[in-house]
Structure 1
């Protein structure tokens, strides 16, 4: 990063020869949810964000991290102004970090969502979900971070907690990684089953066709709303409005400009554009999160039934508060 960009990012003033301050635009810091690895994510987004720089008339610096936890920490530390997030990170940012949804991803098929997937080797001993669940303590599992909806929350809620199970104790071993590395682990025989999602699995087929041919899906979740863009509530209205206008119109310019924009969008897995949205698109994630928490409490070990019921009552109250907080913004 150049010295000029560093100064802009920090908000430091520059001065002319006579000492008078020169007003320079402060950089916008764009946080990217890690897909594959941090370097890949940065490369995928760079052309689009260069166009955003031109529209806003100010630098856009990429905050690219290697984990969901890293991006969550960057948001908490006020190092991110706008971010591409999945449901759980987005709800956390809205509830605790004074941010709001401005747009939702539109996928390659025109939809605004995807599905979580469990994958195994096509030539392996697991043919379906019944085979998987029939042998507790036997298989090796690779999943996403706990902040990942497709990598943890959806399969945990729909496959394990709904049956009174916990994946951390059900399997013989559990490893945590991103979708790409987990799929490779299955293909290489290092684990028996792994979580993934539809856009990342499509990207894996492009990048690793031989390994992808060795995989098959044994479970798919209900449709999950796709990722969103969130911005800080303190962002000045002119910048916010310009940002919304840019995102909603990107890929729809006429002629060669539109073709170039669509090519830039295609660099980002399964993305064809952005649809205007607000915090209400996150309610399905809140519903799923509390379903998981409730199922875990329902099937957990308690000193007595009264303690269980008290916990379930508190979870229901927390759920209603989370909905109010989400819809109030």
Structure 2
């Protein structure tokens, strides 16, 4: 609580004169992990409370893919957004985004896992080596290109480290959101697909029969919980109100108000706990992972001339070294 108070005071400290831009409506971006109707129902109670806190209308913003929400922020159609780490990295780099908060689970944990799923009835798929056997002619369900758990993490740990290209290894590769991939496996439309533990928690709750058809055949290292990102050029007074809402939601108020907010959070997305303060430093491990993936890709690219390959690898090594210094400067990282 002491850390929260200090953070809240820091947020209020920069709440000076309003910027030239006047915000009459706050657009909250929601990445397409499942159908927009399900996500809208999930986020509506929290967004209504956010609307009361900031004193202006709050509207949910949906797009067909993660890139749509990133571009929405870039063109100021999205003011605040829930992203995965990879999408947040793109929003920071290309859309003027800034991480200010992080989701947690109801038990306080701050992480989740990427998964590979197969149908329980498929006895030929039980572990990672079965997926990497390209002679099987499998159909693969991949995640959005900007998804951390659906694409970036498995692309490194499953494919890059094992020198396997999914586009040539599998008979067919289709791309969908987490829910779509899970249902495709459950219904036998693909043999194996990416997913994550958060999405599976929600599937178990809302589509139990489909959940029961699935089995986990690979699990990643822990991934940091999802960030909440705002446009860095939002007016300072709006930032202060938004920050105070997220860091106080489910923590401050009467016992009844705290209980009510925590109950709402438990039904938001895959089930959340109170938010914690964060920053762009949360994305350092994801940047590192992206660089490692690109380095392995360059090293294994037979089409690159030796000098060109060495130059590319050296450039990535320099970026990794710079990133290591940044990570070393952040406590507890």
TM-score (norm 2): 0.86
The 3 A distance-change label for structure 1 pair 326 and 89 is farther
Q: Deviations over 1:238-293 (max 9, x none)?
A: 22122111101111233222222112112211211210111111111111111111
What RMSD, in angstroms, separates the aligned Cα atoms of the two structures?
2.1
Aligned mates of 1:141, 1:88 — CA distance in 2: 21
Aligned partner of residue 102 in structure 2, secondary structure: strand
SS at match of 1:104: strand
Structure 1 match to 2:260? 260
Equivalent residue for 1:216?
Answer: 215
TM-fit CA distance, 1:81: 1.0
Asked if the contact 1:116/1:198 (under 8 Å) is kept, the reply is yes
CA offsets per residue over residues 25-58 of structure 1, 9 Å max, x none? 6111111112211222122111111111111111
Contact 1:107 1:272 (8 Å CA) reproduced: yes
Partners of 2:328 and 2:164 in 1: CA distance: 32
Structure with the greater alpha carbon radius of gyration: 1
Mapped to 1, the partners of 2:316 and 2:198 lie a distance apart of: 32
Residue 74 (structure 1) shift: 1.1
**Corresponding residue of 2:275:** 274
C-alpha distance in 2, partners of 1:76/1:209?
Answer: 38
The 1-side partners of 2:53 and 2:279 are apart by 22
Seen in structure 2, the aligned counterparts of structure 1 residues 74 and 323 have a Cα distance that, compared at 3 Å, is farther
Q: Which residues of structure 2 form unaligned runs of 5+?
A: 1-21
Determine the C-alpha separation between the residues in 2 that align with 1:177 and 1:256: 40
Is 1:160 equivalent to 2:159 in the alignment? yes
Superposed structure 1 runs of 4+ greater than 3 Å apart:
317-328
SS of the residue 1:110 aligns to: coil
> Would you say 1:297 and 2:298 are equivalent positions?
yes
Cα distance change on mapping 1:123 and 1:38 into 2, 3 Å: same
Q: RCO (CA 8 Å, sep 6+): is it higher in 1 or 2?
A: 2
- Kindly tell me: are residues 217 and 93 of structure 1, through their superposed partners in 2, closer, same or farther at Cα, counting changes over 3 Å? same
Q: Cα distance 1:304–1:326, how it changes in 2: closer, same or farther (>3 A)?
A: same
Q: 1:60 to 1:37 in 2, by over 3 A?
A: same
Q: 1:181 deviation in Å?
A: 1.1
Change (3 A) 1:284 1:262: same
8 Å CA contact retained: 1:104, 1:227:
yes
Contact 1:104 1:229 (C-alpha < 8 Å) held by counterparts:
yes
Change (3 A) 1:135 1:170: closer
How far apart are 1:107 and its partner, in Å? 1.4
How many residue pairs align between the two structures? 305
Contact 2:71–2:95, Cα closer than 8 Å, also in 1? no
Quick one: which of 76, 81, 88 aligns to 2:79?
A: 81
Q: Is the 8 A contact 1:90 1:228 kept in 2?
A: yes
Cα distance, 1:63–1:136 mapped onto 2, change above 3 Å: same
Match of 1:34?
32
1:219-246 deviations in whole A, cap 9, x for unaligned?
A: 1000000111111122222221221111
The alpha carbon displacement at 1:320 in A equals 5.5
Q: Distance in 2 between the 1:116 and 1:303 partners? A: 31
Partner of 1:17: none
Give 3-state SS (helix, strand or coil) of 1:163's partner: coil
Cα displacement (A) at 1:76:
2.1
Give me the whole-angstrom Cα distance separating, in 1, the residues matched to 2:154 and 2:208: 25
Matches within 5 A, 1:1-329: 26-124=24-122, 125-136=124-135, 138-252=137-251, 253-268=253-268, 269-319=270-320
Instruction: Quote the Cα distance in structure 2 between the aligned partners of 1:73 and 1:320.
Output: 30
